[in-house]
Amino acid sequence: MSVTESHSRFRPSRSERRAATQQRLRESGLELFAEQGLHAVTTHDIAHHAGLAAGTFYLHFSDKQALFHEIVHSAVEDLREALRAAVSNGGQGQDRVRAHAIALLDFASRNQRVIRILFSGERDAAALEQDVLNALADSTARTHRERQTLPPGVEPEVFAQALVGMFARVVIWWVENPHAATKSQVIETLAQIQYSGTQTTPQEPR
């Protein structure tokens, strides 16, 4: 084999180079968005931080909102897959509920910067925040309806809105206050609330 043939064999293809450039832009955008906020960052900032020419950005994304949308939706799809796996492989009853909470907190640990940006309250993130919560609620309702995991009288859509709202608020709080409770404490509390609520078993009078 000649040197030229060897070099050609190991040279990345055009699609591989394109994918690598997009990944550099995603990583750069995520880091800058987390540091400065969506509004303050420009596409030139993102390209420069990634070590690319300014015009390269527009070969891959139409604007910074498009980049942010891709970052968030990629993370949300990872979360959906993790939650689906938890529901499918987490056993029955309380074990499945705990597996769901573990998947959620593992996701939060891996994606703290995405969560901070998405729920930052910035105008540019607000619409996407609602889209994400609605998509997660729809997915949760559909899963429980298909698997018939809820007791009689519990409407899947109402349950899903309540569950996603609670989980979102807890995750945001925990990401911003990681020392307020351990990861295991958050998991066990969420699992307990979801499985049996907050009512304690009344003690028999002595």
Q: Where are the domains of the chain?
A: 14-61, 64-196
Cα–Cα distance measured from residue 80 to residue 87, given in angstroms and rounded to the nearest whole number: 11
Q: State pLDDT tens for residues 128-159.
A: 888 889 888 998 888 888 878 788 898 999 99
The architecture in CATH of the region 14-61 reads Orthogonal Bundle (1.10)
CA 27 to chain centre: 15
Q: Which amino acid, residue 57?
A: F
Look over the chain and give the mean of its residue pLDDT values, rounded to a whole number: 85
Instruction: Say how many C-beta atoms besides its own lie within 10 A of residue 121's C-beta.
Output: 8
pTM for this model (two decimals): 0.76
Cα–Cα distance measured from residue 33 to residue 46, given in angstroms and rounded to the nearest whole number: 9
Cα–Cα distance measured from residue 126 to residue 200, given in angstroms and rounded to the nearest whole number: 38
Class for the domain spanning 64-196: mainly alpha
CB-hemisphere CA count at 13 Å for 6? 3
Q: State pLDDT tens for residues 65-103.
A: 999 999 988 888 888 888 888 777 756 678 888 888 999
